[in-house]
């Protein structure tokens, strides 16, 4: 699908991943890219969804909007994470179908995989068990996008695809300690401890759990490539194929940020899913996607962005 002169709607387009996706679309010469803001468009309300689609008249919808957070946020808000994510996806896809929109790109989550899926996670293992309990409501709500996409393709011939990104990181990430994921949370913790002269930081879990991380710009490129070139019913993983323990991750972040104190593990807190590593061969085969950002380089870029962003915020606060 040639994106030039196409009208696109990108929900969540002002967010962390969304800004990079919108940038990639514009570099491709997309004709018009509409980005609804959550403050004006509550996509859990059917009338709002209908009005948005009538107003923007997209030919392609890329659905990135989500209510997300780390383990703590998932544990505090399981009902909200389930309901909001379920309703946004269901309403958007249904009303996109009714309007004959040419393509719907649904972006799911690695949290949809079973807690003990074989490593590396393959798309055919997606239904082999229940997700990790701390984020199961979120993961299952996003997983329903796949069910809906396949059902609509079967009954209505609706062209909806489903992508499964692994954990993301990069410049522009959410560093709010109440809702951030592991990399921004650890970066902030190390920097604040260093600035305060603290001799230790406390990190949740045992450190033995592993994660795979995908640089946000690489993920955006994968989503755009799928939008251009993939039209099938099967889910597709987007990842880097690089797995690291949380203990090694903390060590790397401490070294880059200059924190030299002790790392203390709070084993009363959950590790989350024991391991995460994706098989990414399907994405490479179907639409030529492969991650190219070295993890250490991406981590440094993320930390440098956050340091610069904090300095700007501090300067602005002093100027007021």
Instruction: Give the count of alpha carbons within 13 A of 206, CB side only.
Output: 8
Contact 109, 142 (CB under 8 A): yes
Count of alpha carbons within 13 angstroms of residue 234, beta-carbon side: 11
* Residue 306 annotated among the catalytic residues of the structure: no
| Catalytic member of 83, 113, 130, 138 | 138
- The residues annotated with a catalytic role in the active site are 138
């Amino acid at each position: 699908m040639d994106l030039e002169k196409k009208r696109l709607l990108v929900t969540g387009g002002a967010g962390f991943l969304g800004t990079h996706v919108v940038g990639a679309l514009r570099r491709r010469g997309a004709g018009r890219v509409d980005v609804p803001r959550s403050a004006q468009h509550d996509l859990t309300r059917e009338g709002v969804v209908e009005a948005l689609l009538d107003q923007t008249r997209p030919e392609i919808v890329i659905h990135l909007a989500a209510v997300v957070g780390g383990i703590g946020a998932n544990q505090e808000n399981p009902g909200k994470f389930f309901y909001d994510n379920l309703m946004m996806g269901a309403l958007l896809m249904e009303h996109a179908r009714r309007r004959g929109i040419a393509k719907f790109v649904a972006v799911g989550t690695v949290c949809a995989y079973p807690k003990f899926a074989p490593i590396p996670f393959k798309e055919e293992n997606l239904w082999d068990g229940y997700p990790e309990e701390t984020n199961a409501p979120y993961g299952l709500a996003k997983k329903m996008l796949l069910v809906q996409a396949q059902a609509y393709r079967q009954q209505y011939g609706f062209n909806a695809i489903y992508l499964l990104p692994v954990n993301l990181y990069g410049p522009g990430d959410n560093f709010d300690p109440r809702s951030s994921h592991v990399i921004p949370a650890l970066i902030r913790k190390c920097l604040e401890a260093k600035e305060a002269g603290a001799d230790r930081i406390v990190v949740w879990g045992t450190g033995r759990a592993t994660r795979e991380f995908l640089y946000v710009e690489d993920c955006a490129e994968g989503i755009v490539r799928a939008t251009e070139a993939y039209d099938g019913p099967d889910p597709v993983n987007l990842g880097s194929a690089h797995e690291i323990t949380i203990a090694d991750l903390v060590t790397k972040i401490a070294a880059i940020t200059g924190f030299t104190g002790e790392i203390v593990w709070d084993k009363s807190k959950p590790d989350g899913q024991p391991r995460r590593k994706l098989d990414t061969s399907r994405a490479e085969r179907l639409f030529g996607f492969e991650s190219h950002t070295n993890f250490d380089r991406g981590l440094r870029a993320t930390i440098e962005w956050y340091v610069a962003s904090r300095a700007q915020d501090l300067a602005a606060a002093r100027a007021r």
